């Protein structure tokens, strides 16, 4: 909107006026009295009507934006709760399937010891025949060392398989990417104060009138219609982006940002279990190949 081009000027005035909003309004209406015929060119009734009409117009716009922000925040919270529920269910399933301690009789214990001793003898006999395999493993280790050289300088992923950058942080699963952008400004931010532009392959986030925090081509494509964003605690913009390709880990949000080492991500079993069998096998193989 054309009105937004004055936001920077009004923000500067608001910071200098004493008394907050009332101080800004008092200065503005005083300006109208000193520099225009706003009060003398019409009756008091018409003047009051103009002011009231303007207030009602912008109050309606603000109410609509508040409703949209509330809906967006509720959707983001719903998705977060769903992820937490899946993680808890996976943890419970893993606990149920964990090996348990079983008591055995003296005879059973003796049989187990004999079986273990036999396995040690068999392993010793196979040691000589395994020299070729050892050489092959050494070559593979050398190859891995060479690959590690390529990863020097890359960021180690945080606990959410993303990174904590200077002006934002991000985490990811195989399904989606979550970005948190905190703003250190002397006023509570609202939807109208920020710029959030999510496209299939491009992303822009920032505060109006200031350089963007992120602005560029994303590592992968996203489903725009499934992406959401909201404002947390009046200071943080929270975005949730759903990936198109659910079989890869992103090494950065936009291509102009530092890379993380995706070989060190910690894939969650709960996320892999959400995939069908064929897709899960492909993802696990890709992870083992890296």
Least confident span in 46-60, 115-129, 202-216, 220-234: 115-129
Structure confidence at residue 167 (pLDDT): 95
Residue 2 in this model has a pLDDT that exceeds 90:
no
Taking residues 169-176, what's their average pLDDT? 95
Taking residues 65-87, what's their average pLDDT? 93
Taking residues 240-266, what's their average pLDDT? 94
Structure-model confidence comparison of residues 161 and 128, the more confident one: 161
Structure confidence at residue 118 (pLDDT): 82
Structure confidence at residue 151 (pLDDT): 81
Average pLDDT score, the chain: 83
Structure confidence at residue 116 (pLDDT): 79
**Tens digit of pLDDT for each residue in 262-283?**
999 987 644 555 555 555 555 5
Q: Give 219-274 as a DSSP string.
A: SS-B-GGG-EEEEETTTEEEEEEEBS-TT---S-SBTTSPPB-GGG----HHHHTT
Least confident span in 12-21, 190-199, 243-252: 12-21
Structure confidence at residue 83 (pLDDT): 92
Structure confidence at residue 290 (pLDDT): 45
Structure-model confidence comparison of residues 96 and 15, the more confident one: 15
CATH of 163-289, one of 3.40.50.300, 1.20.140.10, 2.60.40.790, 3.40.50.720: 2.60.40.790
Structure confidence at residue 280 (pLDDT): 55
Least confident span in 33-47, 171-185, 217-231, 271-285: 271-285
Tokens describing residue 82: 């769903």
| Distance, CA of 108 to CA of 263 (rounded, Å) | 43
Structure confidence at residue 131 (pLDDT): 54
Q: How confident is the model at residue 80 (pLDDT cuts 50, 70, 90)?
A: very high
Cross-sheet strand order for the sheet of 194-198 = 194-198, 202-207, 214-217
Tokens describing residue 49: 């009507």
**Tens digit of pLDDT for each residue in 105-115?**
777 777 777 88
**Tens digit of pLDDT for each residue in 89-136?**
888 887 776 555 555 577 777 777 788 778 877 776 666 555 555 555
Taking residues 216-240, what's their average pLDDT? 95
Structure confidence at residue 164 (pLDDT): 96
Structure confidence at residue 73 (pLDDT): 92
Structure confidence at residue 96 (pLDDT): 74
Domain boundaries, the chain: 163-289
**Beta strands 176-182 and 169-172, pairing class:** antiparallel
Structure confidence at residue 278 (pLDDT): 56
C-alpha count within 13 angstroms, C-beta hemisphere, residue 156: 1
| Distance, CA of 251 to CA of 259 (rounded, Å) | 5
Nearest to 160 by CA among 148, 143, 177: 177
**Tens digit of pLDDT for each residue in 150-160?**
888 899 999 99
């Amino acid at each position: 909107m054309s009105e937004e081009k004055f936001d920077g000027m009004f923000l500067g005035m608001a910071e200098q006026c004493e008394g907050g909003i009332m101080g800004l309004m008092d200065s503005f209406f005083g300006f109208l009295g000193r520099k225009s015929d706003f009060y003398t060119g019409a009756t008091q009734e018409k003047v009051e009507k103009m002011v009231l009409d303007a207030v009602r117009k912008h109050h309606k716009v603000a109410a609509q934006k508040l409703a949209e922000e509330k809906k967006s925040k509720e959707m983001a919270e719903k998705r977060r709760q769903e992820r937490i529920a899946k993680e808890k269910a996976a943890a419970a399933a893993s606990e149920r399937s964990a090996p348990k301690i079983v008591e055995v009789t003296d005879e059973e214990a003796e049989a187990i010891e004999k079986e273990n001793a036999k396995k040690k003898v068999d392993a010793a006999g196979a040691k000589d025949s395994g020299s070729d395999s050892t050489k092959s493993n050494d070559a593979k280790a050398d190859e891995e060392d060479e690959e590690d050289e390529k990863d020097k300088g890359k960021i180690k992923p945080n606990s959410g398989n993303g990174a904590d950058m200077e002006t934002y942080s991000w985490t990811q699963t195989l399904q989606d990417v979550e970005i948190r952008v905190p703003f250190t400004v002397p006023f509570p931010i609202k939807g109208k104060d920020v710029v959030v532009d999510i496209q299939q392959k491009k992303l822009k986030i920032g505060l109006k009138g200031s350089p963007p925090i992120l602005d560029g081509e994303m590592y992968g494509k996203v489903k725009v219609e499934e992406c959401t964003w909201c404002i947390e605690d009046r200071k943080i913009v929270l975005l949730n982006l759903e990936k198109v390709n659910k079989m890869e880990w992103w090494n950065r949000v936009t291509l102009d940002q530092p890379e993380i080492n995706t070989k060190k991500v910690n894939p969650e079993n709960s996320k892999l279990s959400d995939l069908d069998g064929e897709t899960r096998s492909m993802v696990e193989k890709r992870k083992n190949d890296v």
